[in-house]
Structures are given as structure tokens and as C-alpha cells.
Amino acid sequence: MSELKNDVFLRALMRQPVPRTPVWIMRQAGRYLPEYREVRGQAGDFMSLCRNPELACEVTMQPLRRYKLDAAILFSDILTVPDAMGLGLHFIAGEGPKFKEPVQSVDAIRNLRVPDVEKKLDYVFEAVRTIRRELNGEVPLIGFAGSPFTVGTYMVEGGSSREFPTIKALAKESPDVLDHLMNIVAETTTEYLNAQIEAGAQAVQIFDTWGAALEGDDFRRFSMASMQKIIDGLTREKDGQKIPVIVFTKGAGPLLTDLAETGCDALGVDWTTDLATAREYVGDKVALQGNLDPATLRESPEVIRQGVADTLASYGKGPGHVFNLGHGITPDIDPEHLGALVDAVHELSPQYHDA
């Protein structure tokens, strides 16, 4: 593997001094880019794109050709894990992901097994290897997975949900059954992320989109404990390089204090908690990533620049900040507006660093 030419992202995650704040964007490879829509059209559908390592590599690289980003993120989906368990993932236009075989009974959950990740998800690891070759050491590659609770919501509800009635009922009425589901998904996810690291991922992020929908104690038992299991089981060093772990729980707020104890290296912060408050929650335990409101990208370049300035000021001086949005970029964004954001981070962030 070629030597890494730009490691500011990895250094910031480990709270080491950097000359400026690194920046990457959640969902940076995706539908706001016309070149992505073209490749997706060639692939036929979303999962065909995910399962084609060459095309997954192409869409991973697209944003890096446009913007001076400090990391690439593997193009894939959090639902590859339950798909590998045989739940029959498919996407319906306008409705999002669906499972042909959701696990909605106690027996169905008890019968779940950890799949052969290397065999079932080999297309993901081939994509990682292909992207690493293509990156040629320009920037590091982030691998990722969904948190067991977030992935579990789709497995139990059978698709997207706003209220999560089935899984919340499980938490209250059959918590041991939900524990079993979390354990199986955590074990599978640990193997999945370690295989991504083995294939070449240089950092990993766990996306916990729905964990904070649980009440505090349930959050700790089901979402946080299952992420803790993953973190404890991850390969944290490869070829002499540390592999940082980022946990992003949307809507975490004060729960950031608990999450900082999991052994992760960094926490993603959504736009509902300002970074100054987040720093108070976590002390000096972890780096922080975020957290401009994605809606800001609909505004003028001047407003975007001010938003970047405010976010940088909110974190303040010192290492340990990775600039990002507080959630994924939305499909309706003008690509030029993301360019304005990236340029503003490059221009405005050095004043917060001594390196």
C-alpha cells in the first residue's frame, strides 16, 4: 500500500496537532452529484451499484475529484449486514429499503445466526481493496457499518419506520429477546468491520441513526452496549497504524458523556448540540466530528461560509475536531454549495490550530 500523503483526518481523530481542521461529508458520494446519478443509472439499481466493486469505487472517488476532502468513505449501505443474514433486502422507489423476511417473532429472532461474512459480503471487501488502490495514498479510506440497534429497527419493522413500534415493544416486553438480536448483529458487525479493516479501511464509523429514539436506560442497554461490544472486538492497529473508531449517534445530546466512555476515538455530533456543549459533555476523552446543519447547504455561499465560521468557533481552539455536517448531505443540494463549504473550512480553520 502506498504511503499516506494526507493524514490530517487520522491525526485529528487521535487529537493530535494539525495545521487546519480536516473535512469530509457524510453521504459525500451520492445523489446530489450528477455524475453519481449517471453511474447509478448504469448499475440499474442501488444494490447493484453496491455489489459492483468497480462502480462502488467510481462513486467513492467522484467527490474527491470535485472537492479538497480529507477522507474517502466506502460507498455501501448499512443494510448489507441483515441482507447477508438472508432477510432479502430490496429497495422500493419512494419507500426506501424493505425486507422480504423481517424477523418479527421471538422464534425468528432466536433462529438468527451470524453469517459467513467473508463469503456473503465479499463484494464490499473487494470494493475496499479497489478504492485503496485507486486512492493511491491521497487520503485515508473510512469503512462503516450501522449500529446493531439501527440495523435491528429495519430487521424487525421490515423497512423504514418513524415510530419503531415493534422494536420498542420488544425492549419493554421481551428485553432478553432484543438482547439476543443485538448480540447477533454486534457479532456480525464486528466481523464485518474487521474484514473492511483487513481489506484496507484506515478508520471506521458506526452509524447509530436511531439509538437515541430509546429512553436513556434502554439506549444504554441496547444501543450503547451493543456498540461497546463492537468497539471491544475491533482491530485497532494494522501495519503499525492506529485504526480510529468514530461513533455517530444522531440526537445523542447529553448521552455523549456516556458514549465517550465506550473506547471510541471520536464522536459524531448532530446539529442539535453545539460543539462547545459537546466538548463539555466529553471532556478530553474523544475527538468530535460535525456538525453544520445540512439545511445550511441550501442557502447562499455567504450564509454557508458564516455557518462554517460559527461551527469552527463553537469547537474553538485546539486539536480533535473533524468538520462535517450534523447528518448526511441531502439529494437536493447544489454541488457548488458543498464546494463553498469545503473552501471555507480550508480558509477559516487554520486560525484555530497552532501546528
Alpha-carbon distance 91 to 237, whole Å? 36
Q: Is 40 one of the catalytic residues? A: yes
The gap from C-alpha 182 to its chain's centroid, in whole angstroms, comes to 18
Cβ contact 38:86 at 8 Å: no
Neighbour count for residue 46 (Cβ, 10 Å): 16
Among the listed residues 15, 20, 36, 77, the single catalytic one is: 77
Annotated catalytic residue within 20, 40, 132, 305: 40
The catalytic residue among 31, 220, 236, 298 is 31
Taking each helix axis as running N to C, give the angle between helix 225-233 and helix 175-199, from 0 to 180 degrees, rounded to the nearest 10: 30
User: Residue 89 pairs with which residues in a beta bridge?
Assistant: 99
In the chain, which ranges are continuous DSSP H helix?
Answer: 8-13, 34-43, 46-50, 53-66, 80-84, 106-110, 117-120, 122-135, 148-157, 165-173, 175-199, 216-218, 225-233, 256-259, 275-282, 301-315, 335-348
Is 11 one of the annotated active-site residues of the chain? Answer: no
Q: Which of 11, 27, 51, 279 is catalytic?
A: 27
Catalytic status, residue 15: no
Taking Cα atoms as reference points, which of 28, 65, 95 lies closest to residue 333?
A: 28
Question: Cell numbers at residue 115, please?
Answer: 453469517
Annotated catalytic, 77?
yes
Indicate if 315 belongs to the active site: no
Catalytic choice (32, 36, 67, 154): 154
CA dihedral sign, ordered 325, 210, 108, 115:
positive
Contact 304, 297 (CB under 8 A): yes
Catalytic sites, residue numbers: 27, 31, 40, 77, 154
